Amino acid sequence: MRDMKVLVIGSGGREHALVWKLKQSPRVSAVFCAPGNGGIAVDATCVPIKISEHDALIAFAKREGIGLTVVGPDDALAAGIVDRFEAEGLRIFGVNQSAARLESSKVFAKEFMLRHGIPTAASGQFSDPEKARAFAAAMKTPIVVKASGLALGKGVIIAETHAAADVAIREIMEERKFGDAGAEVVIEEFLDGEECSIHALVDGGSYLLFPSAQDHKRALDGDRGLNTGGMGTFSPADKVLPPALEQRVRTEVLDRFVAGLKADGLDFRGMLFPGLMVTADGPKVLEFNCRFGDPETQVLLTRLESDLLDLLDATIDRRLAGVAPKWSSEAAVCVIMASGGYPGAYSGGKEITGLADAKATVFHAGTKRDGGKFFSAGGRVLGVTALAPTLAEARARAYSAVDGIAFEGAQFRRDIGAKGL
Ligand code: AMP
Ligand code: GLY
């Protein structure tokens, strides 16, 4: 029966993909998004409530009779939005505040991994800058210095020299470049390899592994330039994670993760997205994210043939064991079109043309709609996503659509997916 109203919280390309997929559910009667963006407003009713306004979101969900709220961003989870909704008797998908520490505190995540034998970089953690410096001085370079708290993906510095590590420790811990996120640091060995994004729904006792994906974090072609939120993705990433390695991810990461939750008494129901480095010694966890990836969600949901609502319901109700969704055997590619200058300073308000004729699914990450026209309104603007029988064809389709879309200063990579060929 089509009688369920859903509310998606967030305003980026990931949230547009969640809205797009949930709208296709035969059980969903209406989709709302808070606050959403110009492109999301085509697929959902956007409500102007910020993700930090928990009271207003709760009041809206009650007034509108929302049957399920789905949380996109990590900061809402870390702020305890799930605990608040549940205390009000409202149904919500996402991890509670206690479980969200696996993403919001790198120290907490490291301790969890060590305690439960999950492979990760050797490291030390410090709240005293003197001790941090002494530890770094004894390490081989390059040295990875991470602010423990949430820092919009920017709190990781790869220091090529011991002097650079000292500077990073000073900036993070003493000058508080990332604010209180830098009260503690994790200092770890540099891992060499290919990165891979893993997504698994976890219901506390079981998990459901999604197909693999690969993100492109650097701003420029050939993995040069600054780190960004992600400039594009493709799925499957089976060249970096062939079946034998995927099996190791199951036994060494996910099985141990679920056993660790039980041992520690953590109630984790939601999406686990470990960022992996696939090294010569096998897969190692760089970080845990406790939410859908952005722009990984755009390619994963494009390949999901089953009803997403059923999977989210099964997670909340601890029924994941035995759930087997259908995935397209085709490949998906998402190319991010960003504002010129991103991830540094950029200006918005540029008119976007060519959207109506695009032969691809265009998820909006940062746009405004005004009188039927769309304008850029963010660093990442669009995620142009195509599905095709092979990765090469999916790339060709995505880039052909990108070439038909324009806005002043548009910046994108030409090599998304090239490594998977
Ligand atoms: P994180 O937020 O911990 O995922 O780190 C952000 C990015 O820094 C990762 O996506 C990697 O590209 C890089 N990185 C983090 N930790 C390491 C490490 N130990 N070795 C090499 N690269 C790393
Ligand atoms: N695409 C990386 C992330 O969502 O953190």
State phi, psi for 153 to the nearest 5 degrees. 70, 5
> Which residue is it, tokens 């953590």?
266
Ligand 1 neighbour 190 (Cβ under 6 A)? yes
pLDDT band per the 50, 70, 90 thresholds, residue 155: confident
Bridge partner residues of 353 (DSSP): 406
Q: Looking at the predicted structure, is the pLDDT value of residue 227 above 90?
A: no
Q: Looking at the predicted structure, is the pLDDT value of residue 413 above 90?
A: yes
Contact of 364 with 37, CB cutoff 8 Å: yes
CA distance 126 to 11: 35
| Model pTM score | 0.96
Sequence-ordered list of residues with C-beta below 8 angstroms from that of 41, at least 6 positions apart, any chain: 33, 369
> In the prediction, which pLDDT does 361 show?
98
CA distance 140 to 261: 33
14 CA → ligand 1 middle, Å: 21
* Nearest Cα residue to atom 3 of ligand 2: 293
Bridge partner residues of 227 (DSSP): 218
Q: What is the set of domains in the chain, with CATH numbers?
A: 4-96 (3.40.50.20), 128-183 (3.30.1490.20), 194-322 (3.30.470.20), 331-420 (3.90.600.10)
Ligand 2 neighbour 293 (Cβ under 6 A)? yes
| Mean pLDDT along residues 82-100 | 98
Sequence-ordered list of residues with C-beta below 8 angstroms from that of 204, at least 6 positions apart, any chain: 258, 261, 267, 268, 269, 318
Q: Looking at the predicted structure, is the pLDDT value of residue 152 above 80?
A: no
- Ligand 2 atom at minimum distance from 294 CA: 4
More confident residue, 357 or 155: 357
Residue 52: other Cβ atoms inside 10 A: 11
Q: Looking at the predicted structure, is the pLDDT value of residue 317 above 90?
A: yes
Radius of gyration of the chain (CA): 21
CA distance 94 to 268: 9
Element (H, E) at 394: helix 391-403
- 262 CB burial (10 A radius; 0-12, 13-18, 19+): exposed
Nearest to 357 by CA among 302, 399, 405: 405
- Ligand 1 atom at minimum distance from 227 CA: 7
46 CA → ligand 1 middle, Å: 35
Question: What would the pLDDT profile of 35-56 be if each residue is shown by its tens digit?
Answer: 999 999 999 999 999 999 999 9
> Which residue is it, tokens 């996109």?
72
Element (H, E) at 308: helix 308-316
pLDDT band per the 50, 70, 90 thresholds, residue 1: confident
Q: What's the chain's average pLDDT?
A: 97
* Nearest Cα residue to atom 1 of ligand 1: 287
Residue 271: other Cβ atoms inside 10 A: 26
> In the prediction, which pLDDT does 226 show?
87
CA distance 375 to 39: 10
- CA distances 369 to 41, 71, 168, 303, 351, Å, are 8, 23, 41, 28, 10
Ligand 2 neighbour 287 (Cβ under 6 A)? no
Question: What would the pLDDT profile of 395-409 be if each residue is shown by its tens digit?
Answer: 999 999 999 999 999
Contact of 389 with 330, CB cutoff 8 Å: yes
Ligand 2 neighbour 215 (Cβ under 6 A)? yes
DSSP sequence for 322-354 = T----B-SSEEEEEEEE-TTTTS-----PEEBS
